[in-house]
């Protein structure tokens, strides 16, 4: 039996857990809320790296999200663990490097379906959410554009499982 009550669970993973994956968490939680499914799906995010454990999201991510009405400043970074593969149904990687690191961590008996996030929206025709950390503010808007579309597609998929 699960220690959690929600029927489904999703974990978004990037490198630092301060830009892309907390953005995905905030966007997806709001889409679930709008769809009346917030209580049906547990959502979390984590990083493959340990540099930012306990840190708030990058202020540039917070600002870009706030411009579109998403709140994420309350989130705090954590590192992904092997246990997450037992606790989540879906683990969604932001880029190929994250995906490779997660495959190395994945226990053989974990329940989580591990995949890249963007291919959930085939119309995007993109594999990776580019790391915005070393770029300018516009990179953070580009991250949101991709995440909003992939979240929408993921939500449509999950609806069929609820």
For binding to ligand 4NP (CB under 6 A), which residues are involved?
Answer: 14-20, 47, 51, 131, 133
Spatial separation of the C-alpha atoms in residues 18 and 14, rounded to whole Å:
8
152 in catalytic set: no
- The residue written with tokens 């209580």 in the block is 39
From 19, 20, 42, 101, the catalytic residue: 20
Spatial separation of the C-alpha atoms in residues 62 and 72, rounded to whole Å:
6
* CB nearer ligand 4NP, residue 74 or residue 159: 74
For 39-132, strand residue ranges (E) read 41-47, 90-93, 113-116
Please give the C-alpha separations between residue 95 and each of 11, 72, 92, 131, 142, in angstroms, as whole numbers: 14, 21, 9, 8, 14
- Please, what is the minimum distance in Å from the beta carbon of residue 40 to ligand 4NP? 27
DSSP state of 116: E
- Please, what is the minimum distance in Å from the beta carbon of residue 19 to ligand 4NP? 3
* CB nearer ligand 4NP, residue 103 or residue 157: 103
The end-to-end CA distance of the chain, in Å, is: 18
Q: Which residue is nearest to ligand 4NP (CB)?
A: 16
Residues 6+ apart with CB under 8 A from 63: 137, 140
Parallel, antiparallel or unpaired: strands 90-93 and 113-116:
parallel
* CB nearer ligand 4NP, residue 14 or residue 62: 14
- Please, what is the minimum distance in Å from the beta carbon of residue 115 to ligand 4NP? 17
- Please, what is the minimum distance in Å from the beta carbon of residue 13 to ligand 4NP? 9
14 in catalytic set: yes
From 14, 42, 44, 58, the catalytic residue: 14
20 in catalytic set: yes
From 38, 100, 131, 138, the catalytic residue: 131
* CB nearer ligand 4NP, residue 11 or residue 18: 18
Active site (catalytic) residues = 14, 20, 131
């Amino acid at each position: 039996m699960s220690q959690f009550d929600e029927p489904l669970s999703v974990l978004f993973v990037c490198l630092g857990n301060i830009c892309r994956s907390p953005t995905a968490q905030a966007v997806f939680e709001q889409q679930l809320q709008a769809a009346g499914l917030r209580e049906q799906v547990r959502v979390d995010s984590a990083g493959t790296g340990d540099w930012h454990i306990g840190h708030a999201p990058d202020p540039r991510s917070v600002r870009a999200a706030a411009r579109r009405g998403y709140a994420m400043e309350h989130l705090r970074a954590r590192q992904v663990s092997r246990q997450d593969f037992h606790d989540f149904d879906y683990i969604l990687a932001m880029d190929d490097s994250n995906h490779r690191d997660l495959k190395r961590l994945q226990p053989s008996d974990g329940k989580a379906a591990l995949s890249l996030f963007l291919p959930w929206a085939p119309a995007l025709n993109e594999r990776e959410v580019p790391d915005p950390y070393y770029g300018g503010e516009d990179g953070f808007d580009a991250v949101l554009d991709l995440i909003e579309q992939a979240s929408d597609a993921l939500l449509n998929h999950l609806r069929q499982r609820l």
